[in-house]
Amino acid sequence: MLDLVVRNAKTIDGQKFDLGISDEKIVEIADKITNKSQNELALTDDQYLSPGWIDDHVHCYEKMTLYYDYPDEVGVNRGVTTVIDAGTTGAENIGNFCELVKKAKTNVYALLNISKWGIVEQDELADLTKVQHNAVRDAIEKYPEFIVGLKARMSKTVIGSSGIEPLRLAKEFQSEYGGLPLMVHVGSAPPELSEIMDLMDSGDVLTHCFNGKENGILDRTTHKIKDFVWEGYKKGIVFDIGHGTDSFNFEVAKQALNEGMISSSISSDIYVRNRQNGPVYDLATTMEKLFIVGYSWEEIIKQVTEAPAKNFYLKGKGKLAVGFDADITIFTLKDSEKEVTDSNGNTCTVKQEIIPVKTIIGGQVYDN
């Protein structure tokens, strides 16, 4: 007997099927499931289903004071089944974070900040004595299921006078520990974006890719994407949105798309203040902003499911397929006019909202 059957399932590209779940896994997909089940969930005609949404850039270690939130506030309550905390904690406090998230309904993973205390202060990479080889090694070995990558924040307010050295150290750690995924935060210089991208390799994740800063991807004189950015993009650097309070600009995103450059993954960089006060609010709102830019819903759904699962080696996530985790987001598309704002105060009106209505995590159904 199945634990749950989802009937009248429909994906954004129009595929229709029933979906069967047992022991927290998808075990059957068919036009019509005839096996008996303990529970059934029938979708209405206006509801769609996708793999569970994954937000690969959040800050949800509740004991911090600078950037913090609560996993279920940015996760299951917002239609998101899996979050990756992007470097809030380092080797000294990631163990406590790992214990805290065990009470969450949302699946939670973490990127280890290479600075041992994480983002306790804004300039965590200004003092390189906090970047300790043994501490990084011990944390990775102790929490291999929780830590899915490394994080280095490479912008002026973070590095002080350390220059490009923190990224060199992060790349050394990455190489030593089996090619762990690496996310690199970019912002105001120094260091220059060109220096950062020169050190990054295919598969490395550049977050805040469409920020509106002078040190961003857009040449403010020519209003074109900088040549060296195209070189990095073509060699396989992963472009992640990482909206945040100060890191997404409509003009930059639109110009990139006009030139044929699209993001690889969509993430919110959400924490309590930009969740409550904007401009982020939730992952769905960030997705709507990419729809305004010109992305299709099919592209957008892929960038919050399959893409982050691939980029961070999240086995069993990101697809609706037999054997994969029973993590599912059910949502509607509502024709309406809603004003949204980027990180620089520019406003646009979205003509269609994406609204999560139910979130399934490990086969357990939660209402939104």
Q: Is 133 one of the annotated binding-site residues?
A: no
Q: Strands of the chain (E only): list them.
A: 2-10, 16-22, 25-30, 37-42, 47-51, 53-58, 80-86, 107-113, 147-154, 182-186, 205-207, 218-219, 224-225, 238-240, 328-341, 347-361, 364-367
What stretch of H or E contains 141? Answer: helix 133-142
Q: Is 243 one of the annotated binding-site residues?
A: no
**Mean pLDDT over residues 140-159, rounded?**
97
* Residue 215 scores a pLDDT above 90: yes
CATH number of 53-312: 3.20.20.140
Q: Is 59 one of the annotated binding-site residues?
A: yes
* Residue 314 scores a pLDDT above 90: yes
Per-residue pLDDT tens over the stretch 19-30: 999 999 999 999
Contact 84, 181 (CB under 8 A): no
Superfamily of domain 2-50+323-367: Urease, subunit C, domain 1 (2.30.40.10)
Per-residue pLDDT tens over the stretch 272-293: 999 999 999 999 999 999 999 9
pLDDT band at 179 (very low <50, low <70, confident <90, very high): confident
pLDDT band at 230 (very low <50, low <70, confident <90, very high): very high
Listed in sequence order, the residues at least 6 apart from 368 whose beta carbon sits closer than 8 Å to its beta carbon are 77, 78, 79, 355, 356, 357, 358, 359
Tell me what percent of the residues of the chain surpass a pLDDT of 90. 99
Name the phi and psi angles at 348, rounded to 5. Answer: -140, 160
Q: CATH 3.20.20.140 region(s) of the chain?
A: 53-312
CB atoms within 10 A of CB 92: 17
Q: CATH 2.30.40.10 region(s) of the chain?
A: 2-50+323-367
For residue 183, the model assigns a pLDDT of: 98
Per-residue pLDDT tens over the stretch 328-363: 999 999 999 999 999 999 999 999 999 999 999 999
pLDDT band at 178 (very low <50, low <70, confident <90, very high): confident
Tell me what percent of the residues of the chain surpass a pLDDT of 70. 100
Q: Is 208 one of the annotated binding-site residues?
A: yes
Q: In what order do the strands lie in the sheet with 47-51?
A: 47-51, 328-341, 347-361, 364-367
For residue 20, the model assigns a pLDDT of: 98
What stretch of H or E contains 136? Answer: helix 133-142
